Amino acid sequence: MAKIDFGGVLEDVVTREEFTLEKAREVLKKETVAVIGYGVQGPAQAMNMRDNGINVIIGQAPEFKADWDKAVADGFVPGLTLFNVEEAVTKGTIIQYLVSDAAQRILWPKIKPCLKKGDALYFSHGFSITYKDQTGVVPPEYVDVILCAPKGSGTSVRRNFLAGAGINSSYSVFQDYTGRANERILALGIAIGSGYLFPTTFEKEVYSDLTGERGVLMGALAGIMDAQYQVLRENGHSPSEAFNETVEELTQSLIRLVDEKGMDWMYANCSATAQRGALDWRPKFKQAVLPVFEDLYNKVKSGKECQRVIDSLSSPDYKKKLDAELSELGNSELWRAGAAVRKLRPKS
C-alpha cells in the first residue's frame, strides 16, 4: 500500500502501479467470475473485466428480457457465458452479487444453496451485509465475503474505463475463509478498472454511500436547485435565465474547475464579486444544512433509513409510484427548461 496525504491525514491506498493488471490476471487466472445481474453495475464491471482478460460469465433471470437481451447484445452467449442465476452461481468461483439491494434480499434463498466451499461472494454495496437483520443475507462460513464499491454509476465505470481512466473504488474484506480474500478483492478492483483502491468496512461504505446519495450527490443537489430556481422565477426571471444560473453554469463550467484543481481554484477563476459573495454565504448554507445531514446520518446508522427503503420497495405498486415521481421531476419547469437549453448547446 502507498501512504497518501489527504489534507494532512495519511491514508493507505492501492494504486495500479503497485498492484498491476498483470498481477490481477495472475491472481484470477483460475477463477470464473459470475456477475449476477445485468442492470446497473453489472454490465460495466463485466465488460471491463472481460476486456482485461478475466474469465467472466453472466447470471441473469431470462424473464427480465431487457437485461437478458442487453447481455446478448454485449457479446455474452446463452449457454456459454450467459446463464440463469442459479446455474451461473454454480459455475462461478467468484460471485459478484450486483442485483439491486431489494433484489438481493429476494434472491438470497436461491443464491445461498448454490455457493460452494471456497467461493468468494462479492458485493459493490455494503447494504445487505450491514443490515443483515432486515435483509436476511447471512453468508455461510465457508466462503470469502468481499466488497469493491466504485464511486460512480455503472455508466461512468464503463466510460472512464474506455477513456483509459478509472473510477476510484473502496474495498473491504468481511470474511476471509480461504486466506486469499484480500488478494482476490484487490485483483478484482484492478480488473474492473478502478483508478485506485482505498480500504473501508462494509458498514462505513454503506453509511457514507447512503448519506452521499441522499445528500450532496443527489438529494441535496436536486433540492437546492429546486429552491434557487423557484426563488428566481418568483422574482420575475425567465426559465432560461433561472436554469442557466442554477444548473448550466454549474455543470458546464464551474464544476469542471472544481474537478480540475479544487474549490479554491474554481473560486480563483471567478470574479472578485462572486468570490466575496460565495465566501460570505458558504457558512450560512453550512449552518442551515448541517442539522439535516446529522439527522440523515443518524437515521442511516440506526437502520431506520434501511427499513424505510425496504418497506417502500416492498410495496406492490412501488414501480408505478417511482415512475410517477420521476415523471414529475422530469416534467417540472426547471428540467423542461433544461431540455430546451441542452438543445441550444453548440454542436461539437
| Paired residues of 14 in beta bridges | 197
Specify whether 237 is catalytic: no
Q: How many Å separate Cα 348 from the centre of its chain?
A: 29
130 and 206 Cβ atoms separated by less than 8 Å: yes
Q: In whole angstroms, what is the distance from residue 174 CA to residue 73 CA?
A: 35
Amino acid found at 48: N
Please choose, from the candidates 175, 154, 122, 201, the residue with its C-alpha nearest in 3D space to the C-alpha of residue 48. 154
Amino acid found at 102: A
Q: What is the crossing angle of helices 154-162 and 41-51, to 10°?
A: 20
Query: β-pairing, 2-6 with 9-15?
Result: antiparallel
Q: In whole angstroms, what is the distance from residue 87 CA to residue 81 CA?
A: 11
Start-end of H helices in the chain: 21-28, 41-51, 65-73, 85-91, 101-111, 127-130, 132-135, 154-162, 181-191, 202-214, 219-234, 239-243, 249, 255-261, 263-268, 272-302, 304-313, 318-330, 333-344
Coil, strand or helix at 152? coil
Q: In whole angstroms, what is the distance from residue 343 CA to residue 309 CA?
A: 36
Query: Per the residue annotation, which of 105, 125, 184, 233 is the catalytic one?
Result: 125
| HSE-CB for 56 with a 13 A CA cutoff | 27
Give the active site residues.
125
